[in-house]
């Protein structure tokens, strides 16, 4: 009997691990270590099974020697029916069913990798470059800038291939993958997902509903971009799979952007390319690109790129913040022209000064392209 119970416990551990690995196949490397030994921060299935099995077999060390049958399976084990007893130990019968768990996250598809996007060439603009260099002089930290006018290609870049802490800029590739998988028929925007405790734990004050509540993919996308809600971002990343996101980033040629455990990287040049792809209607398709622009234009954190621009200017953008990190990247639509600007600042000792510099750079580019 004891051998049977130990085998049952091991089997349960394996099944749970299989569900976790299948449900997050290629999934959120961002917050989970991964189910294979080769993944960053990962552990072997065997080691994880041992850990789960040991935690699943409580032992009472405060009383007499435990009965092997009574301690092998907890009384709330879902393998038991509501009326089943654990004879002959005298353990009380289970009188109520186990709590209802929310449905599991759908397993991400193995999406085909997108092919490389080739942006139009950047035409160096020496006057703009001088103005940008003058403005960022004296800023603390690593500063990367990429600016480009869509019609002419004129612009400038500073450290375009440098890898910076992306912070919430990683939500842009998540958004792209969500739209792509909708086009593939792998998800629908009215599909409901569940905010289990796993996702609620990522909230930093922007989540507007309790644990085990539902949200549609469309709503989660809106909250992820416009108020930078972390819970929605992790939920959507799990839904589409971080493996798919990273594969598409490489396929599109964004070699300095990635979603890996504790390593969310992006470069100014990659941000410029991704935004140009969206602005030109090449992100998935023209309709999806227009929807991406619309959701970014509803951004509610507007203390950087849009701050000094005229109210009539439409800025479709995304911010990113961490201690010492101040980012903003976006597409700026003016009556005369459209330009892209990406400013990433990492390791700054003065976040307010960094935010003010980003606002000034947007105004410098706006005035420069209007006067040309």
* Domains in the chain: ranges and CATH: 2-72 (no CATH), 123-371 (3.40.710.10)
Spatial separation of the C-alpha atoms in residues 202 and 123, rounded to whole Å: 42
Residue 121 has pLDDT above 70, yes or no: yes
Spatial separation of the C-alpha atoms in residues 228 and 301, rounded to whole Å: 8
- pLDDT value, residue 104: 82
Residue 37 has pLDDT above 90, yes or no: no
* Mean of pLDDT values over 40-44: 32
The DSSP output letter for 126 is H
Reading the block at residue 214, the tokens are 């539902």
Mean per-residue pLDDT over the chain, rounded: 80
The DSSP output letter for 279 is H
Indicate the pLDDT class of residue 102, thresholds 50, 70 and 90.
Answer: confident
Partners of 340 in the β-ladder: 148, 331
- pLDDT value, residue 92: 38
Residues 6+ apart with CB under 8 A from 354: 139, 141, 326, 345, 348
What are φ and ψ of residue 153, in 5° steps?
80, -5
- pLDDT value, residue 4: 37
- Torsion angle (degrees, nearest 10) of CA 234, 174, 339, 153: 140
Spatial separation of the C-alpha atoms in residues 370 and 364, rounded to whole Å: 10
Residues 6+ apart with CB under 8 A from 205: none
* Strands 263-266 and 258-260, bridge-based pairing: antiparallel
> 250-277 pLDDT, tens per residue?
999 999 999 998 899 999 999 999 999 9
324 or 100, greater pLDDT: 324
The DSSP output letter for 169 is G
Indicate the pLDDT class of residue 247, thresholds 50, 70 and 90.
Answer: very high
Residue 71 has pLDDT above 60, yes or no: no
For 173-206, give one letter per residue: b (16+ CB within 10 A) or e: bbbbbbbbbbeeebbeeeeebbbbebbbebbeee
Alpha helices in the chain (DSSP H): 2-23, 45-55, 68-72, 126-136, 171-183, 197-200, 217-226, 230-240, 242-251, 268-279, 286-297, 351-371
> 187-228 pLDDT, tens per residue?
999 999 999 999 999 999 999 999 999 999 999 999 999 999
Reading the block at residue 286, the tokens are 């023209």
Closest CA to 221 of 243, 239, 244, 246: 239
Reading the block at residue 332, the tokens are 């700026």
222 or 25, greater pLDDT: 222
* Mean of pLDDT values over 133-158: 98
The count of residues in the chain is: 372
Whole-angstrom distance between the N-terminal and C-terminal Cα of the chain?
85
- pLDDT value, residue 103: 79
Cβ of 56: how many Cβ atoms within 10 Å?
16
* Strands 314-322 and 258-260, bridge-based pairing: unpaired
Spatial separation of the C-alpha atoms in residues 270 and 255, rounded to whole Å: 8
* Mean of pLDDT values over 332-336: 95
pTM of the model: 0.75
Residue 80 has pLDDT above 70, yes or no: no
Residues 6+ apart with CB under 8 A from 369: 149, 154, 334, 336, 337, 339
Residue 1 has pLDDT above 90, yes or no: no
* Mean of pLDDT values over 235-244: 97
């Amino acid at each position: 009997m004891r051998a049977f119970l130990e085998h049952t416990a091991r089997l349960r551990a394996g099944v749970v691990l299989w569900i976790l690995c299948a449900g997050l196949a290629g999934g959120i490397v961002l917050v989970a270590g991964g189910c294979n030994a080769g993944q960053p921060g990962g552990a072997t299935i065997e080691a994880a099974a041992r850990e789960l099995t040991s935690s699943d077999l409580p032992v009472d060390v405060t009383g007499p020697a435990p009965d092997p049958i009574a301690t092998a399976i907890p009384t709330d084990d879902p393998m038991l029916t509501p009326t089943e007893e654990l004879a002959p130990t005298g353990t009380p019968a289970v009188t109520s069913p186990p709590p209802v768990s929310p449905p599991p996250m759908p397993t991400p598809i193995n999406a085909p990798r997108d092919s490389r996007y080739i942006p139009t060439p950047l035409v160096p603009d020496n006057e703009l470059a001088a103005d940008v260099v003058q403005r960022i002089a004296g800023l603390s930290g690593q500063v990367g800038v990429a600016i480009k006018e869509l019609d002419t290609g004129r612009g400038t870049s500073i450290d375009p291939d440098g890898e910076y802490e992306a912070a919430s800029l990683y939500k842009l590739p998540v958004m792209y993958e969500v739209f792509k998988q909708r086009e593939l028929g792998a998800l629908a925007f009215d599909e409901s997902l569940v905010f289990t405790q796993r996702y609620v734990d990522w909230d930093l004050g922007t989540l507007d509903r309790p644990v085990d509540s539902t949200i549609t993919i469309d709503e989660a996308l809106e909250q992820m971009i416009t108020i930078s809600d972390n819970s929605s971002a992790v939920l959507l990343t799990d839904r589409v799979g971080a493996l798919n996101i990273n594969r598409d980033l490489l396929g599109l040629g964004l070699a300095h952007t990635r979603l890996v455990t504790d390593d969310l990287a992006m470069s100014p040049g990659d941000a410029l390319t991704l935004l140009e792809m969206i602005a030109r209607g090449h992100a998935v398709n023209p309709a999806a690109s227009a929807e991406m622009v619309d959701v970014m234009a509803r951004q509610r954190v507007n203390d950087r790129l849009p701050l000094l621009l005229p109210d009539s200017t439409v800025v479709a953008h995304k911010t990113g913040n961490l201690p010492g990190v101040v980012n903003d990247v976006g597409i700026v639509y003016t009556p005369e022209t459209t330009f892209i600007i990406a400013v990433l600042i990492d390791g700054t000792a003065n976040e307010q000064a960094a935010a003010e510099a980003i606002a000034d750079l947007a105004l410098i580019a706006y005035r420069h392209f209007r006067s040309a």
